[in-house]
Structure 1
Amino acid sequence: MDERAIRVGVFPYEHTQALLTGEVPIEGVTATVEGAPIVSDVFRRAVLGEFDVAELGLTYFLRMWDTAQRPFVALPVFPNRNFRHSAIFVNTDSGIERPGDLTGKRIGEFALYGHDPGVWDKGILADEFGVRWEECSWVIGGTNTPLPAFDWLPLPAPAGAGIRHLEEGRTLNAMLEEGEIDALISVDVPRALTEGSPRVARLFPDYERVERDYYGRTGIFPPMHLVAVDRELAADGTLLRAVYDAFCTAKGQVEQRYLSGAVKQHMSLITPWFSSLFERNRQLLGDDWWPYGVRRNRKAVDTFLRYHFEQGLSETMLTIEDIVAPALLDT
């Protein structure tokens, strides 16, 4: 009997490369695994129905959840995660010296109102610093290159939010440097900062210390993306387990490579003092510092789901048990 054929879309991270090359197969199926140079291209193709299994940003998944079709169920696989205090940038003439100063300001946001880092940062700013998104105005667009609105995705506009999309041909980087916006939340670092402009700075200059403290207090290493499966396949628990196991194996191989490399002080890498950073990260995050599964990610995912609802982007308050395929709730 021929194996079932499935199409898989995922960005080529180091911990997904073995899936893309076929070194790690998905047992019991014939999988065609494709990447893309820009991760949002994977999202777009998934939303348009070109994949059976695909990486999706958390907000992209949730926006589709609230459609009549509700096409996806989540797998507890999180291929992209990052601490996001480092994703907030300010104009140095704006008078913003601390997080609370963002209240009432005009803030740019990359790609869409409520992109994944934006949801995290708005939530953290509200929880820890009392900054409410409703009290700010928002300009949406591309950070370093012009970016049209994502017309292939639902774009909910929460009541009371002052939101507009940037005019054609303009960038948030230029607006921030010129003072037309006071701050920016963006997955992409504005070019003005990387090029040394004195007019742009991070809100948290010592962001590593702040983010390590955040993890130490909360235990949250913020996930940005998950892996979604077409709802019609979700009833096949054997297939879902095989997909989950393959992602875990590919990630585990990379983690083990770093752990083994510590013996030789990671001599295969060209980053000085990497072993010192790696050891500090292990002390804080443990040997499985990029966890998959429901148990290790429940608090982080539930926090994002709460933020998404509070920011007017979800119709109902969800938990991780609501969105993850039942066959994988034991992970």
Structure 2
Amino acid sequence: MADTKLDIAFWDYDRTRPLVDGTVKIDGVDGKFHSAPIVTEIFRGMIADGSFDVSELGFTYFLRTFKNGESPFVAIPVFPNRAFRHSAIFINKASGIETPQDLNGKTIGELALYGHDAGIMPKGMLMHEFGFKPETCKWVIGGLDWPLKPIDFVPHTHSANVQVTDIAKGKELGAMLEAGEIDALISADVPKCMLEHSPKVGRLFPNFREVESDYYKHTGIFPIMHTVVVRRDLLAKHPELSQFIYKGFCDAKKTAQEKYKHGLIFNSMGTMFPWFSQLVEEDLAVLGEDWWPYGIEANRKSIDAVLRYHHEQGITDRLFKIEDIFLPEFLTT
């Protein structure tokens, strides 16, 4: 029987590269792999254009495709993008923001849309741990330091009592932060003024690595940004593909992990970063041997947090459960 031809899209990650270069094969699949310089263009291709059969999707983009409790896509518990996000909160140093509580009442910029994946998690963390109230703030949504296509392929939902406006034409959030036109910025990407070490800007948590490590230790949450989804109509015809796809992504990630562990023998000479081996060992000490887990059980706290924060922030009109978004055969993974 011939392999099923599938168009599969994701960004250029070390944990997916073995699929692209052929090191890892997906059983029963003749895959054509796609990517894009900006990951939201992959999301657009899946949601708006129907270009792919299997695709990485930002969790918030996926949840916004649900109508009347159902999405045209079904998730498998593969999480190609995850990141601690205390480091994603930037401030203008003249804004008077010294503590997380000082964000209340401020004007805050956010990249792309209110509740982008790197905005959901820090807002939720700030609300639960520091008493942050998004409804007290003015929110400005837009591009960072470059032109950004409008995110017009998913609903822009938020709580009714939250004030959200689009950025003025010709403006960029990075420049507005440095100029003090906004007090703070939440962004998946680092603004140019930070990369250029402007003295006018900084992070809310300057010691973010220590703070994020402590956050993981007391919550067990390694924040998930993106998952992998499959077209529901495809699985109706070929239900066996879900397991093959899941195993392929798992094998590719395992290949990348083994490469890093093997590299410790040779002091990680394959990278250009001094002390990289020490970083790998430190991450293993905090996060465990499988420091980037796929499957449900190892990620239950992180998935529950994503779903809860979406509902609390008015992005989804219901509190989704894990069973609502993942195929039943993966609930025990």
Q: TM-score, normalised by structure 1?
A: 0.97
Output the CA distance in 1 between the equivalents of 2:71 and 2:187. Answer: 28
Asked if the contact 2:158/2:313 (under 8 Å) is kept, the reply is no
Instruction: Please say if 1:5 is aligned against 2:5.
Output: yes
1:58 aligns to what?
A: 59
* Deviation readout 1:75-111 (Å, 9 max, x if unpaired): 0000000000000000000000010000010000000
1:302 aligns to what?
A: 304
Paired AA for residue 258 in structure 1 = Y
Asked if the contact 1:66/1:314 (under 8 Å) is kept, the reply is no
The correspondence for 1:257, drawn from 259, 279, 289, is 259
Offset at 1:21?
2.4
Offset at 1:276?
1.2
Output the CA distance in 2 between the equivalents of 1:222 and 1:157. Answer: 21
Output the CA distance in 2 between the equivalents of 1:293 and 1:35. Answer: 23
Instruction: Give SS of 2:227's match.
Output: strand
1:188 aligns to what?
A: 189
2:291 aligns to what?
A: 289
Asked if the contact 1:5/1:30 (under 8 Å) is kept, the reply is yes
Q: TM-score, normalised by structure 2?
A: 0.96
Offset at 1:68?
7.8
Offset at 1:170?
1.1
Q: 1:175-324 to 2 correspondence within 5 Å?
A: 175-235=176-236, 236-324=238-326
Output the CA distance in 2 between the equivalents of 1:149 and 1:12. Answer: 23
Offset at 1:320?
1.5
When the two chains are superposed, the root-mean-square deviation of aligned CA atoms in Å is: 1.3
Instruction: Please say if 1:38 is aligned against 2:38.
Output: yes
Output the CA distance in 1 between the equivalents of 2:151 and 2:34. Answer: 21
* Deviation readout 1:238-295 (Å, 9 max, x if unpaired): 2100000000000000100111111121122111111111111111111110000001
Question: Comparing 66-75 with 201-210, which one deviates more in the overlay?
Answer: 66-75
Q: Which 5+ residue runs of structure 1 have no aligned equivalent? A: none
* Deviation readout 1:154-178 (Å, 9 max, x if unpaired): 2124211110111222100111111
Output the CA distance in 2 between the equivalents of 1:67 and 1:22. Answer: 39
Output the CA distance in 2 between the equivalents of 1:320 and 1:3. Answer: 30
Paired residues, what number? 331
Q: Which 5+ residue runs of structure 2 have no aligned equivalent? A: none
Asked if the contact 2:112/2:150 (under 8 Å) is kept, the reply is yes
2:327 aligns to what?
A: 325
Output the CA distance in 2 between the equivalents of 1:66 and 1:194. Answer: 40
